Each structure stands twice: as C-alpha cells, then as structure tokens.
C-alpha cells in the first residue's frame, strides 16, 4: 500500500504555537509511540481544549494501518474527543474557560459556501478539514487528533457538554453516536419496508449541546440495532 511521510510540524511556521504530547503511528506496521507536537494559539474564533477522554473508532485503526491507503505519517488518531476548555478566542460566544467540550471528526471548513451555510460542512466545496490526517490550513503539515493532551478547534466544530454527563460515555457519541443519529431526522416520517416498518423517532436536539438521553434518543438508537 502507498505510504507518505511528512516532517512533523516545524518551527519555521510563523504562527504562535503551544506544545502538546500525543501518541502517533510512524508506519503501518509499528505501534503508536509518544510524539511531541504543536497546537496553534487560539485565534478569535478558536477554542483550546485540554483533552480528558478520547474514544477509539474503527477509522483510527484503518488509518493507523494505512488500510485506506491515504495515511500521512506520523499520524495521531482520535476524533471522539471530550475535554475542558482552557482558553477561548475573543469572538467565541458559546463556550468559556472551564466548560466541558467535545469535538468529532471535523475541525474546520470554509464556512461560506452553499453547503456550509446549509449545515452540511462535510460537503464543503473548498474541502472540510478532518480532525486528523488532513492538511492543516493553520500550521501546515497534517492535523493531529485526540490521542493527545490538547487541541485547538474553531468554535463551529466544538460542542458544549453538560456537566451532568459521564464524560467517558460521551466520547463515543462524537462519531459512532452522531453517525447513528444523523440519518434519523432525514428519515422521520418515512415508512419502512413494505409500508409496515417502524417510524424512526427523532431525538430532540439541544441547540448545539449534547443532550442527556431522555429515553427517546436511546429508543431511536436501539431501533436501529446500534449501540453508541
Ligand atoms: Zn469515527
Ligand atoms: Zn464550505
């Protein structure tokens, strides 16, 4: 399989950075190892997060082993991130220092194209930025994910997590959970096969927050035989 390698983020970048530590794979056949890396200083729209938990997604494994033949090494996986906000930019409105926050598989997009304005940033016409193994428009090199001590993310891609939730349980919601939830609103009201299927019940949204499971969300997930 094809493999590519880039140098870790370099000090030649003029952007201000802070140090972080992560676990990285350096090839498809070697274990993850500690890696020193850099995060950008938060810009006006950015949120800096101390990572407390990160789920393990199958995508992490495929990427580490280069099974999708698009891995750039070293790669720091992890896109089910939960942590505590340590700093916010001057324009950030929905989060403040000390809040609990979460980040999924996307960390940026243009924000201006038709798809972004429709809330479909994953189809951004200029290309979305994935949480890891994606070209980093701020520092150069590639983005590094949540198997690390901290991350800096544009506010648009950060969710507020209520203090009442058990944080380790929140992490898998950021990819597995959202993937399960995402089709439900689109399917709402449609009949199942032969017209006799159950109508999916739509979990309530919470204005950008991850809501506590109120029963409806759990029912909807288990209707589809998934466990988030
Ligand atoms: Zn995932
Ligand atoms: Zn866009």
pLDDT tens digit string along 46-89?
999 999 999 999 999 999 999 999 999 999 999 999 999 999 99
Residue 163 and residue 179 share a domain: no
Q: Is 21 helix (H, G, I), strand (E, B) or coil?
A: strand
Q: Which of 167, 194, 215 is the last residue of a domain?
A: 167
Q: Kindly list the protein residues that place their beta carbon closer than 5 angstroms to ligand 1, a single-atom ion.
A: 57, 59, 175
> Is 228 a domain residue?
no
How many A from CA of 125 to the centre of ligand 2?
A: 5
**What's the number of CA atoms in the CB half-sphere (13 Å) around residue 7?**
7
Is residue 76 a part of any domain in this protein?
yes
Q: How many Cβ atoms from other residues are within 10 Å of residue 41's Cβ?
A: 15
Q: Do residue 20 and residue 103 come from a single domain?
A: yes
Mean pLDDT of the region 186-191: 66
CA–centroid distance for 226 within its chain: 20
pLDDT of residue 100: 98
3-state DSSP call for residue 119? coil
Same domain, 146 and 183: no
Phi then psi dihedrals of residue 197, to 5 deg: -75, 165
Calculate ∠ Cα 217-221-223, nearest 5°. 115
Residue 199 is part of which domain span? 175-223
Which one, of 5, 90, 80, lies nearest residue 44 by Cα?
Answer: 90
Ligand nearest to the CA of 129: 2
Q: If pLDDT is split at 50, 70 and 90, which confidence band does 11 have? A: very low
Residue 154 host element (H or E): strand 150-154
Which residues surround the ion ligand 2 when the cut-off is CB under 5 Å?
Answer: 109-110, 113, 116, 124
Q: pTM for the complete prediction?
A: 0.78
Whether residues 137 and 27 share a domain: the answer is yes
* Among candidate residues 149, 167, 185, the one where a domain is terminated: 167
Q: Which residue has the tokens 């340590």?
A: 86
- The pairing of strands 4-5 and 72-73 is parallel
- Within-domain flag for 23: yes
The CATH number linked to 56 is: 3.90.180.10
């Amino acid at each position: 399989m094809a493999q590519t390698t880039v140098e870790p983020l370099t000090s030649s970048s003029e952007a201000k950075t802070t140090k972080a530590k992560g676990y990285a794979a350096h090839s498809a056949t070697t274990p993850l190892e500690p890696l020193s890396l850099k995060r950008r200083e938060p810009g006006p729209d950015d949120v800096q997060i101390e990572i407390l938990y990160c789920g393990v997604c199958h995508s992490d494994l495929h990427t580490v082993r280069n099974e999708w033949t698009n891995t750039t090494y070293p790669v720091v996986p992890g896109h089910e991130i939960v942590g505590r906000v340590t700093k916010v930019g001057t324009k950030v409105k929905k989060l403040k220092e000390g809040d609990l926050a979460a980040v999924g598989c996307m960390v940026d997009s243009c924000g201006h194209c038709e798809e972004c304005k429709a809330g479909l940033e994953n189809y951004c016409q200029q290309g979305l930025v994935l949480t890891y193994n994606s070209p980093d428009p701020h520092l150069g090199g590639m983005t590094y994910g949540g198997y690390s001590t901290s991350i800096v993310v544009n506010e648009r891609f950060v969710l507020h997590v209520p203090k009442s939730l058990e944080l380790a349980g929140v992490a898998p919601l950021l990819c597995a959970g959202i993937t399960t939830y995402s089709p439900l609103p689109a399917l709402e009201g449609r009949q199942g096969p032969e017209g006799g299927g159950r109508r999916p019940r739509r979990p309530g949204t919470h204005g950008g927050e991850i809501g506590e499971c109120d029963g409806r969300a759990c029912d909807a997930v288990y209707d589809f035989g998934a466990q988030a």
